[in-house]
């Protein structure tokens, strides 16, 4: 099991007014992950709200690539229904070139209503758009001709370092989508605090996913968890509550549905008690992460920089956990 960092790059008006720079903080997180030995640093794509201020992951990932040499870089996710897939293939091929073959490419169909409104995309069409865009994206990255209507046979003029393309993850928030991802032989990313009620339920989903994999498929099951290692867990609890409030305010649909079914899941205390947020001394956090190894998780996506948690707490958590974590 590997340990990585995953940031939604959430931002808060009062922090901005106080002079905090989320992009500088994200780069500091990347630097800490590079030094400490994390596997990958992942960033999320969001639009039109402060719950995530990275509308262009290729730009941010290129900045990270320019200052690191070892850590892999990834997007979770590129929201395919919002973009021209040919342009995405070009952009991410360039990122993989700049990173010298260190790109992980996560894709998804989107889940926040105001983002669909902002792009003028009907959410009812998102799965059809996703399927078509993924086919074009992968073909472009493989160097195959892409044929827009009336344009003739055209291929990209840049190719990724990794062949036939960078490793692909699909983010899944609906259990019924797991067989679809598995049958394609692709890796999967899960965010359990927003979708399931227990580590046992998560383990059941992972077992189901693996049961549908083609023979010999080599995939990664990546799971996002809020992590804090240090002497001040109450700071992390306060930051987590702030983060959860922001996710509800941005109409994060799957998390909203979970809270609608059980309002207690709007509480940081509930998320921590179910094991989807691990706070405490590093040795304790590492010990509790063993439950995820037993559930079949291959990669823990540590959400370290949530809710405006102070940068020293973020970087010290990364250093403490990476130093103790053993794959």
Q: Answer whether 305's CB lies under 8 Å from 7's CB.
A: yes
Residue with tokens 């640093």: 41
ω into residue 164 within 30 of 0, thus cis?
yes
Q: Answer whether 40's CB lies under 8 Å from 104's CB.
A: yes
Instruction: Give the model confidence (pLDDT) of 51-95 as tens digits.
Output: 999 999 999 999 999 999 999 999 999 999 999 999 999 999 999
CA 231 to chain centre: 27
Instruction: Give the model confidence (pLDDT) of 261-297 as tens digits.
Output: 999 999 999 999 999 999 999 999 999 999 999 999 9
Instruction: Give the model confidence (pLDDT) of 108-133 as tens digits.
Output: 999 999 999 999 999 999 999 999 99
* DSSP for residue 5: E
User: How far, in Å, are 208, 247, 251, 298 from residue 141 at the CA level?
Assistant: 30, 33, 33, 25
pTM listed for this prediction: 0.96
The residues with which 42 forms a beta bridge, in sequence order, are 6, 74
Please report how the helices 22-36 and 57-67 are oriented relative to each other, as an axis angle in degrees rounded to 10. Answer: 50
Domains within the chain, CATH numbers bracketed: 2-324 (3.20.20.30)
């Amino acid at each position: 099991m590997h340990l990585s960092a995953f940031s939604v790059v959430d931002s808060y008006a009062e922090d901005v007014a106080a002079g905090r720079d989320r992009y500088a903080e994200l780069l500091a997180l990347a630097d800490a992950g590079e030094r400490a030995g994390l596997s990958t640093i992942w960033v999320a794509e969001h639009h039109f709200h402060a719950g995530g201020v990275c509308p262009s992951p290729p730009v941010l990932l290129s900045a990270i690539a320019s200052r690191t040499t070892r850590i892999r870089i990834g997007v979770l996710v590129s929201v395919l229904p919002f973009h021209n897939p040919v342009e995405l293939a070009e952009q991410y091929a360039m990122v993989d070139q700049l990173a010298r073959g260190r790109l992980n490419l996560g894709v998804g169909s989107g889940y926040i209503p105001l983002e669909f409104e902002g792009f003028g995309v009907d959410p009812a069409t998102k799965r059809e758009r996703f399927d078509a865009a993924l086919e074009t994206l992968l073909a472009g990255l493989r160097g195959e001709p892409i044929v827009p209507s009336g344009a003739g046979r055209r291929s990209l003029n840049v190719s990724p370092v990794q062949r036939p393309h960078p490793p692909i993850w699909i983010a899944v928030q609906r259990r019924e989508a797991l067989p679809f991802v598995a049958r394609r032989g692709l890796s999967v990313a899960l965010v359990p605090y927003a979708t399931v009620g227990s580590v046992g339920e998560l383990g059941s989903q992972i077992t189901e996913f693996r049961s549908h994999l083609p023979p010999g498929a080599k995939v990664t099951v990546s799971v996002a968890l809020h992590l804090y290692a240090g002497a001040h867990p109450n700071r992390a609890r306060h930051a987590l509550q702030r983060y959860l409030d922001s996710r509800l305010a941005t109409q994060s649909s799957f998390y909203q549905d979970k809270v609608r079914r059980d309002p207690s899941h709007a509480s940081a205390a509930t998320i921590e008690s179910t094991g989807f947020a691990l706070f405490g001394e590093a040795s304790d956090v590492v010990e509790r992460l063993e439950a995820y190894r037993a559930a079949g998780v291959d990669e823990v996506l540590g959400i370290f920089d949530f809710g405006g948690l102070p940068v020293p707490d973020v970087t010290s958590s990364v250093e403490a956990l990476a130093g103790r974590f053993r794959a």
